[in-house]
Amino acid sequence: MANHQELPAAVVMVPLPAQGHLNQLLHFSRLIAAHNIPVHYVAAAAHIRQAKTRVHGWDPSSTAAVHFHELPTPTFTNPPPDPNAATKFPTQLIPSLLSSMDLRQPVYELVQKLAATTRRLAVVYDSSLPYVVQDVRNIPNAEAYCFHSIAAFSVYSFSWEYRGKPALPNEAKIFEQVPTADGCFPPEFAEVMKFQHEAPKFNSGDIYNTSRAIEGAYIDLLAKEKTTGTGTIWAVGPFNPVVLPERKLPEAEADEREECLKWLDKQGKNSVIFVSFGSTCSLSDEQISEIAVGLERSGQKFIWVVREADRGNVFEGDVRRAPLPQGYEETIRGRGLILRDWAPQLEILGHVSTGGFLTHCGWNSCIESISMGVAVVAWPMHSDQPRNAVLMTKALGIGVEVFEWGRQDRLGVVSSDTVESVVTRLMASEEGDEMRKRAAQLGDAVKKSVMGGGISSKELDSFISHITRS
Of 21, 27, 47, 148, which is the active-site residue?
A: 21
- Side chain identity at residue 314, one-letter code: V
Contact 443, 346 (CB under 8 A): no
Q: Cβ–Cβ contacts within 10 Å for residue 193, how many?
A: 11
Q: State how far the Cα of 113 lies from the Cα of 2, in Å rounded to an integer.
A: 10
Beta-bridge partners for 235? 208
Q: Residue 27 catalytic?
A: no
Could you give the CA distance from residue 164 to residue 68 in angstroms, rounded to a whole number? 42
3-state secondary structure of 215: helix
Distance CA 191, CA 280 (A): 19
Closest CA to 256 of 345, 344, 368, 351: 344
Q: Phi-psi bin for 370: left (phi > 0), alpha (psi -120 to 50), beta?
A: alpha
Q: Which of 40, 56, 126, 384 is catalytic?
A: 126
- Residue 334 exposed, middle or buried by CB count within 10 Å (0-12, 13-18, 19+): exposed
Strand order in the sheet with 7-14: 66-71, 39-44, 7-14, 118-126, 142-148, 206-208, 233-235
- DSSP H helices, 269-334, are 285-298, 328-331
Q: 49, 17 in Cβ contact below 8 A? A: no
Vertex 130 angle, CA 127 and 134, to 5°: 150
Q: Decide if 25 contacts 124 (C-beta within 8 A).
A: yes
Return all residues near 96 (Cβ < 8 A) that are at least 6 apart.
Answer: 17, 18, 76, 78, 311, 312, 313
Q: Are 144 and 137 in contact (CB under 8 A)?
A: yes
CA–CA separation, 38 and 184 (whole Å): 37
Tell me whether residue 126 is one of the annotated catalytic residues: yes
3-state secondary structure (DSSP) of residue 143: strand
d(CA 438, CA 397): 7
List the catalytic residues: 21, 126
